[in-house]
Chain A
């Protein structure tokens, strides 16, 4: 099988929808993430960010729509692309009784990583997890667990990395360290990152493009700077609040966008 062309978008989503009975969690969204870019899904609780990421990963089946990652149809051939992506989410854990090294070894073998021992040592140094590689994962602090989750997410050198709230529940210092590290990693290897967050600082710092979500829909999109300018605000947090509350420029734009 030939590899899809490099020019193919890393992620191509069209008409993606998820309903749970009468409730629409994601209501027909479309977006494209270019290769090598960082795109953020930004929205409040219940906006549909985690549902969207879960559908991209194949953990949740959509009610309608199509998902292509690295050119592959994720609903029909997800196993073709799974070795080339990875993820991190606060909603899943690594087995607590296994040491960090054991967890990384298990996942390295699942992903078929060559020279796994070297890879684990390399990640240990890069992510500063080497000092606790042989400690049970359940005994680590929240910050240490986040770094271990990142190490697991990077074990297979993924081309596409999906991160759901990567700095949730971290103190500001550790969160800043994680953001800096992600930024350096993305620039170094050119991976595509899609992250879901409701942390404005994080999104402003990391993302090339922002998809603003509210009640399961993408209500606006653009670079952080363009969105700030469009809504006539000082920063992304104010834009977010306008959109979440339907106030300010968001209230003026909404009828226009609905008409379009």
Chain B
């Protein structure tokens, strides 16, 4: 009898070990490249400095900013959570395409839900590496602490990053299904939502019909909730609850889109053709 005859291996439906293996693969890349690490923090920091000076100037000109100095800086930081969350997931997936590694991964026991979980974990790590130094710089440079939002900050953070993951999953699925022509979506798609995300102005500024669309997306709930605390000193748990409810919906839709596009990629033989 050969050594292979009676080998029966278990294969659980969801394995944290496999999620950790894929996270390790991306951590190796980040760890080995200081420029990559610096690049993650570069743009959030530049944005923070620019909007910090802008806020200082506007605080002397308008009572709105004078009343709540950090409102623009908080908006900048939280917008970056959404942007970095989506980009972090999409880039981690694109790394697999660029390195022509998808075929190996999808023939391994790794399941789609495990891959999505690993990509979300990497997005969280990348976002924290980008945002935390910028938030500390705001404290040091402008004397503003975004952490003064307290526990609500954690709620806003996860409310936005989860929506970023939903979009990132859909974008990754499109790249998998339609190829590298979709790659540019990873960098640009989120900005299409910026005008209706109510980042720097309230939803009420928008035309009525556009307000319905804005309220159908989690970011408007987060940014209105942030302004309510910073400008009026009123915490709005109802907005946080609606954020999470919408996040659950969009994450579900994002994952379903990803699975559907994965199936489409398998039907058309895209998984072996991926790469530049």
Binding site for B on A (CB under 8 A): 3, 6, 20, 36, 50-51, 54, 57-61, 79-80, 82-87, 89, 91-98, 102, 105-107, 109-112, 152, 156-157, 159, 189-191
Flag if B103 contacts A59 (CB, 8 Å).
yes
Flag if B2 contacts A92 (CB, 8 Å).
no
Flag if B22 contacts A110 (CB, 8 Å).
yes
The 8 sampled A-B contact pairs (Cβ below 8 Å) are A6-B6, A54-B269, A57-B103, A59-B272, A106-B22, A109-B21, A110-B110, A111-B108
Flag if A83 contacts B4 (CB, 8 Å).
no
Flag if B109 contacts A190 (CB, 8 Å).
no
Flag if B4 contacts A191 (CB, 8 Å).
yes
Flag if A105 contacts B103 (CB, 8 Å).
no
Extra pairs beyond A110-B18, A191-B2 (20, CB < 8 Å)? A58-B266, A61-B263, A79-B111, A82-B11, A82-B107, A82-B108, A83-B9, A83-B109, A85-B107, A95-B29, A95-B95, A98-B25, A106-B28, A109-B17, A110-B21, A110-B22, A112-B15, A152-B104, A159-B4, A190-B3
Q: B5 within 8 Å of A by Cβ?
A: yes
Flag if A82 contacts B8 (CB, 8 Å).
no
Flag if B110 contacts A97 (CB, 8 Å).
no
Q: How many residues from B make CB contacts under 8 Å with A?
A: 45
A59-B266, A60-B266 known; A112-B272 Cβ under 8 A: no
Flag if A60 contacts B271 (CB, 8 Å).
yes
Flag if A84 contacts B7 (CB, 8 Å).
yes
A94-B104, A112-B9, A112-B15 known; A106-B21 Cβ under 8 A: yes
Minimal beta-carbon separation of B21 from chain A (angstroms): 3
Flag if A105 contacts B6 (CB, 8 Å).
no
Chain A residues with CB under 8 Å of B111's CB are 79
Chain B residues with CB under 8 Å of A80's CB are 11
Q: B106 within 8 Å of A by Cβ?
A: yes
- Considering only residues 1-39 of chain B, those with a C-beta below 8 Å from chain A are 2-11, 15, 17-18, 20-22, 24-25, 28-29, 32-33
Q: B101 within 8 Å of A by Cβ?
A: yes
Q: Which 5 A-B pairs have the closest CB atoms?
A: A190-B2, A109-B21, A92-B103, A83-B9, A93-B100
Cα of A111 to Cα of B8 in the assembled complex, Å: 13
Chain A residues with CB under 8 Å of B102's CB are 92
A105-B24, A109-B24, A159-B4 known; A79-B99 Cβ under 8 A: no
